[in-house]
Amino acid sequence: MSTRSARLTGAALVAALGLTACGGGGGGGDGEDDDVTLRFAFWGSDTRVQNTEEIIEVFEEEHPHIEVVIEYNDWDGFWDQLATQAAGGEAPDIFQMDAPYLREYGERGALLDLSDVDLSAMPEDIVESGSIDGEYYGLASGVNAVAVVVNPRLFEEAGVEMPDDTTWTWEDFADIATEITESLDGVYGASGPAEPQSLQAWVRQQGVQLTDADGELGVEVQHLEDYLSYVDELRRAGAYPPAEVMVEELTAPQDQSLEASGGAAMAFSWTNLLGALQDAGGEELELLRLPSPTGDVADAQQWYNTGMVSASSSTDHPEEVVEFLDFFVNDLRSAEINMTDRGLSANTEIRPQLMDTMDEANATAAEFMDEIEDELGEPAPVPATGFGQLADVIHRYEAEVFFERMTPAEAAEAMHAEFESTLG
C-alpha cells in the first residue's frame, strides 16, 4: 500500500471492467497435466520484487508444471496498466489488490471468488474485509496499519523528546513538528498529509467513515473543512513543508522521500513500509500510534488494513491460481520470505513462528501491530466504488488551500461535491 495517489480515470476503469470477462488471463496448455503459466502483477519496492521472486522459486520447485511470471509496475502505473490489460482481454491471472479498488472490480464480475483457498487460520473480520455480497475477492496477503513513522535521530538533534503515543493529541503533533522545524536547518517536523489515509484517520476519530458500509459517502462538508483547516495551520506554522515541497513529495521516489532521506522527522505511512523506507534511505526509523483528539488512545480509532491479492475471473487456470495463492498466504516458507513487506501475515497459526526469524524492521512493525490490537476501532468497511480516485481529489484541493487559492471552507464545499460525483 502506497501513500502516493493512483493515476486512473473512472472511464478507463469502467471500460476495462466491462471487457475483463471476455478474455483469458494466462497462457498454458489445455490438458490437466499440461504446463501452465500464471501471470502475477503487482507494485512495490525492490524488496517486494526480490521477495516475490524467491517465493515463486520455492513454489515452482514443488509444482514443476506451474510457472509463475511476474509483471511489475510502480504504484502510479499499476492501475492504468491493469485497466489497459483488462480492456484488451489480457488481465493477469493474479494481481495485487488494494481495498479502494476491490468493490469497483468485484461488483462488475472481474474477480474470481477465492473461497477455495484455505481460510481456516484467518480471522473472520479479515475475511470480511475482502468479501462483497458473500463472495471472497480480496485474499488477505497481510495486515498493516497507518502509523506515524518517526526518525529518532532528528528528534535527538532537535532536542525534542519522543512523545508518549498512547496519550498524544493532534495539538501535540503540531507543536512537536513545529519545534523540530524551527530547531533544525533543512528539516521539516513532518512531511505532510498522506491521502486518503490521513483524512480517513481524521474522520474516523470524528465518528464517521469516509465511505460507509453501503458504499456511500460518509462525511459532511464540515468534516472536510475542519480537516483542511488543521493541515493548513500546520503548513502556516512550518510544521509541514511549504506547498511546493509537499506537491513534489507526492511523486518523489521512495529513496528521495522526506521520511526515507532524513528530510522530515515524522510522516504518515503504512506499517509494512517501514523496512523498505529504512532500506531506501539508511535511516533508523520507529513507529508511533496516531494522535487522537482527546489524548485517549481508544479515540485514535486505529484500524487494520488488509493487503490483498485478487485473481481474474477470466483466468484459464482457476485451480492453479488457488493452488499458488494457498501457498502464498498459508505456507510458512512464503511467510518467512515475505515477512511484513505486504503486511503482517493474516494467518494466525504461522504468525507466531515468524517472530523468531524477523529482522529488526520487520519485528518493529509486527510488534506495533500486536500492541495496537486491543485498541482498534471499528473495522473499515469495503470502500465505495470510485474510492481509489479520492486520493487525487484530496491532494488537489489540499494544494488549492496550501497555495492559498482557496480557503478551507471553499475547498471543502468543492471537494465534497466532487466526492459525491466520483463515488458510484
pLDDT, one tens digit per residue, over 96-145 is 999 989 998 998 889 999 999 999 999 998 999 999 989 999 999 999 99
How confident is the model over 143-162, as pLDDT tens digits? 999 999 999 999 999 999 99
Q: How far apart are CA 351 and CA 345, in angstroms?
A: 6
Cβ burial of 261 (10 Å; 0-12, 13-18, 19+) is middle
How confident is the model over 178-203, as pLDDT tens digits? 999 999 999 999 999 999 999 999 99
Three-point CA angle 36, 39, 43, nearest 5°: 160
Q: How far apart are CA 73 and CA 145, in angstroms?
A: 23
Residue closest to 309 by CA, chosen among 293, 296, 326, 290: 326
Contact (Cβ atoms closer than 8 angstroms) between residue 307 and residue 140: yes
Which pLDDT score, from 0 to 100, does residue 103 have? 92
User: SS3 of 287, please?
Assistant: strand
pLDDT bracket for residue 33 (50, 70, 90)? low
Judge whether residue 410 has pLDDT over 90.
Answer: yes
Judge whether residue 311 has pLDDT over 60.
Answer: yes
How confident is the model over 328-343, as pLDDT tens digits? 999 999 999 999 889 8
How confident is the model over 268-294, as pLDDT tens digits? 999 989 988 998 888 999 999 999 999
Judge whether residue 28 has pLDDT over 80.
Answer: no
Which pLDDT score, from 0 to 100, does residue 129 have? 92
The total of other beta-carbon atoms located within 10 Å of residue 211's CB is 26
Q: How far apart are CA 167 and CA 169, in angstroms?
A: 7
Residue closest to 168 by CA, chosen among 22, 72, 295: 295
How confident is the model over 244-259, as pLDDT tens digits? 999 999 989 888 999 9
Backbone angles phi, psi at 215, to 5 degrees: 80, 25
pLDDT bracket for residue 396 (50, 70, 90)? very high
Average pLDDT over residues 20-26: 44
Which pLDDT score, from 0 to 100, does residue 217 have? 97
The partner residues of 68 in beta bridges, in order of sequence, read 38
How confident is the model over 60-104, as pLDDT tens digits? 999 999 999 999 998 879 999 999 988 788 999 999 999 989 998
How far apart, in Å, do the first and last CA atoms of the chain sit?
23
Which pLDDT score, from 0 to 100, does residue 19 have? 40
Kindly state the percentage of the chain with pLDDT values over 70: 92
How confident is the model over 229-245, as pLDDT tens digits? 999 999 999 999 999 99
Mean pLDDT, the chain, rounded, equals 90
**Which three three-digit cell numbers place residue 380?**
473499515
Average pLDDT over residues 375-398: 94
Average pLDDT over residues 376-394: 93
